[in-house]
Amino acid sequence: MTVLLMAATAMVLALLFFWLSARSRRKTGIPAGEVFYQDLVGQPFAARDLRSLKLGISGKPDCLIRTPVELKKSKRPPARGEVYPNHMIQNLAYCALVEEQLRERVPYGLVIYAGQQVRRVEFTDSNRKWLMHTIAAVQAARLREQASRNHNQRGRCSGCGVLDKCDQALR
């Protein structure tokens, strides 16, 4: 009897988790599919860096289901379904990395603002060209060991990963 009760409880819990997971996917717009990993605390999937020797870039999306998903804490997403340019170029780089590693065409990536505002970043030919141009510009700046800040937003600097090393940071 106890075993039957435990089995029934386990089945109910499994159904509940399945329903919650499906509801969460619908709410966030994350497509169904095999989850390669999620780079979130407490998640069972180990995240790993994706690297491209060909492009000279590397990165680690927050979540990878053949479609790179980037979660942004920003409470003020851009208007009209847009994506901030720095988030867009990051997501395009992840699309290129996933394509190279999985050898599958990636049509788009997702940027999710504040846990629910889902924005698509299309990996179109023109966005591919923009990515290649940006990578070349970054590599040229690296060689010159010099780059110019292209914004005047203190908030971007305060959340930047290289703030301590940057001589152009707005403080």
Task: Give the interface with ligand SF4 as residue ranges (CB under 6 A).
Answer: 149, 156-157, 160, 162-163, 166, 168-169
Nearer to ligand SF4, 2 or 148 (CB): 148
In the complex, minimum distance from the CB of residue 51 to ligand SF4, in angstroms, rounded to a whole number: 21
Residue 106's contacts (CB-CB under 8 Å, 6 or more residues apart) are: 66, 67, 68, 95, 98, 99, 123
In the complex, minimum distance from the CB of residue 108 to ligand SF4, in angstroms, rounded to a whole number: 26
Q: How far is C-alpha 137 from the geometric centre of its chain's CA atoms?
A: 22
Nearer to ligand SF4, 71 or 170 (CB): 170
In the complex, minimum distance from the CB of residue 145 to ligand SF4, in angstroms, rounded to a whole number: 14
Residue 24's contacts (CB-CB under 8 Å, 6 or more residues apart) are: 30
In the complex, minimum distance from the CB of residue 148 to ligand SF4, in angstroms, rounded to a whole number: 9
Distance between start and end Cα atoms, the chain: 66
The helix (run of H) or strand (run of E) holding residue 57 is strand 57-59
Nearer to ligand SF4, 5 or 162 (CB): 162
